[in-house]
């Protein structure tokens, strides 16, 4: 047991992960946690707090019963990794805006390679080290898995008020999670996270959420969340939603940069709106390929850019909107311009 625990910790570090745990699929704590979580998620869905994310309803049955979803799995190895989220030196594909440019902003987590790709690569390395004969299935926020639940049962951290995982030694809630479901019984490696402070004693993420999407003791209302509005809501943004997104084009950092409790800092990626709206779509797609923003896509980013421009008290914004109305071929973009 101890040798596997040591091996897993060393392997996690070598492949670039922050920490790792291993849970048997028949673990009674895991089963009880899934049952309790299913009740919460079911209530959240019934209240329609998931907005237009219909895929969460479709995936609920599979998420609620991982032993049926991954029938061959006997153990799950869980990795936490950072992808340089929050590192000032992290790179991104967007050109530096010219002085005085009209700006929109992208969340800092969109720096470096898309975390889905990085996590999948780590899990593939882990599978190879476990042995080629092992059958395994990897999930990094792309399959029907409660990743945070597996991470908390494995003792890798706790879920904060903003619904993200806080881990010891990296308390700024800037980690991603990957799960590897394997067809062998591995020794369990379950930790006891020692957090430097309790979320109940802080509430910084709740206090700094500008839209009220995060409420103490309540499930997050995605319909008020800037990340949902800019990434997941593919239909038009009404005036109230447009006001909520501030100058964001993709995601939001406000509930993460204040954890651990500190003054809000600006980690956003600035984007020149004229560049975003006038650069050929094919060129933009090539630029963001492999970046997290590719999930939203060019039309979604441009729709959000239109909303940001419509709120600006700058004649250049109106001029740019006029150019977009004449030159952009997307009905959605034109409808967003004319909506309010």
Question: How does pLDDT run across 117-165, given as a tens digit for each residue?
Answer: 999 999 999 999 998 789 999 999 989 999 999 999 999 999 988 999 9
288 and 178 co-located in one domain: no
Residue 202 lies in a domain: no
- Identify which of 28, 168, 9, 134 has the alpha carbon closest to the alpha carbon of residue 78: 9
Q: Do residue 142 and residue 278 come from a single domain?
A: no
Shared domain check, 150 and 291: no
Look at strands 103-106 and 248-250 and give their pairing: parallel
Confidence of residue 244 (pLDDT cuts 50, 70, 90): very high
CA atoms within 13 A on the CB side of 243: 4
Q: Of 191, 208, 235, which marks where a domain is finished?
A: 191
Going by pLDDT thresholds of 50, 70 and 90, the confidence category of residue 172 is low
Cα–Cα dist 205/197, whole Å: 14
Mean pLDDT score across all residues of the chain: 93
Average pLDDT of the residues in 108-113: 87
Which tokens belong to 126?
């882990």
185 shares its domain with 52:
yes
Which residues on neighbouring strands pair with residue 23, listed in sequence order?
76
Contacts of 262 (CB under 8 A, 6+ apart): 204
CATH number of the domain that residue 29 is part of: 3.40.109
pLDDT for 174 equals 77
Position with higher pLDDT, 109 vs 265? 109
User: Do residue 230 and residue 320 come from a single domain?
Assistant: yes
Q: Are residues 175 and 223 in the same domain?
A: no
| Same domain assignment for residues 154 and 284 | no
Closest alpha carbon to 315 in 102, 104, 96: 102
Considering its fold, how many domains does the chain have in total? 2
Both tokens assigned to 45: 């869905």
Say yes or no: 251 and 158 in one domain. Answer: no
Query: Which of 23-37, 72-86, 168-182, 183-197 is least confident?
Result: 168-182
pLDDT tens digits, 206-216: 999 999 999 98
Range of the domain at 117: 2-84+113-191
Query: How far is residue 81's CA from residue 125's CA, in Å, rounded to a whole number?
Result: 14
Q: Dihedral (C-alpha) 276, 248, 302, 92: value to the nearest 10 degrees?
A: 40
**Tokens read off for 287:** 């630029």
d(CA 57, CA 12): 33
Residue 1 pLDDT grade (very low, low, confident, very high; cuts 50, 70, 90): low
> How are beta strands 165-166 and 269-272 bridged, if at all?
unpaired
232 in any annotated domain: yes
177, part of any domain = yes
Task: Let me know whether 285 and 171 are in one domain.
Answer: no
Contacts of 326 (CB under 8 A, 6+ apart): none
Per cent of the chain over pLDDT 90 is 81
Dihedral (C-alpha) 34, 35, 41, 45: value to the nearest 10 degrees?
130
- Could you tell me how many residues make up the chain? 340
Q: Judge if 179 and 140 occupy the same domain.
A: yes
d(CA 258, CA 243): 22
pLDDT at 260: 72
The residue out of 176, 191, 206 marking a domain boundary is 191
Which helix H or strand E contains 137, and what residues bound it?
strand 136-139
> Is omega for the bond preceding 340 within 30 degrees of 0, making it cis?
no
Pair 136, 227 in one domain:
no
Query: What pTM was estimated for this model as a whole?
Result: 0.93
Q: Could you read off the pLDDT of 9-46 as tens digits, one per residue? A: 999 999 999 999 999 999 999 999 999 999 999 999 99
Q: Are 187 and 9 in contact (CB under 8 A)?
A: no
Query: Does some domain include residue 256?
Result: yes
CA angle at 105 for the pair 103 and 110, rounded to the nearest 5°: 145
Going from the C-alpha of 272 to that of each of 102, 154, 291, 314, the distances in angstroms are 6, 43, 18, 15
Q: Which of 191, 209, 239 is the C-terminal boundary of a domain?
A: 191
Domain annotation covers residue 207: no
Residue 101 lies in a domain: no
Looking at the fold, whether 227 and 182 belong to one and the same domain comes out as no
The answer as to whether 105 is a domain residue is no
**Is residue 201 situated within a structural domain?**
no
């Amino acid at each position: 047991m101890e040798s596997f625990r040591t091996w897993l910790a060393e392997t996690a570090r070598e492949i670039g992960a922050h920490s790792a745990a291993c849970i048997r699929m028949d673990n009674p704590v895991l089963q009880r946690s899934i049952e309790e979580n299913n009740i919460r998620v079911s209530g959240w869905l019934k209240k329609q707090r998931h907005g237009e994310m219909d895929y969460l309803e479709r995936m609920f049955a599979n998420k609620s019963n991982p032993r049926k979803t991954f029938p061959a799995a006997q153990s799950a190895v869980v990795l936490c990794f950072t992808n340089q989220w929050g590192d000032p030196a992290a790179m991104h594909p967007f050109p530096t805006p010219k002085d005085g440019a009209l700006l929109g902003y992208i969340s800092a987590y969109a720096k470096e390679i898309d975390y889905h790709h990085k996590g999948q690569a780590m899990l593939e390395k882990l599978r190879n080290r476990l042995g080629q004969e092992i059958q395994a299935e990897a999930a990094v926020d792309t399959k029907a898995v409660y990743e945070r639940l597996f991470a908390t049962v494995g003792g890798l951290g706790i879920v904060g008020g903003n619904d993200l995982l806080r881990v010891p030694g990296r308390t700024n809630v800037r980690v991603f999670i990957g799960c590897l479901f394997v067809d062998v019984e591995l020794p369990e490696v379950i930790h006891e996270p020692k957090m430097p402070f309790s979320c109940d004693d802080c509430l910084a993420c709740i206090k700094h959420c500008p839209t009220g999407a995060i409420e103490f003791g309540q499930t997050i209302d995605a319909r008020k969340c800037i990340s949902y509005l800019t990434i997941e809501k593919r239909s038009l943004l009404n005036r109230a939603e447009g006001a909520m997104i501030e100058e964001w084009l993709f995601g939001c950092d406000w509930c993460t940069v204040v954890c651990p409790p500190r003054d809000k800092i600006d980690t956003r990626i600035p984007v020149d709106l004229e560049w975003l709206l006038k650069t050929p779509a094919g060129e933009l797609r090539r630029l963001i390929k492999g970046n997290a923003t590719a999930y939203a896509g060019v039309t979604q980013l441009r729709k959000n850019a239109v909303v940001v421009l419509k709120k600006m008290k700058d004649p250049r914004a109106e001029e740019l909107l006029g150019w977009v109305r004449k030159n952009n071929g997307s009905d959605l973009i034109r409808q967003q311009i004319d909506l309010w």
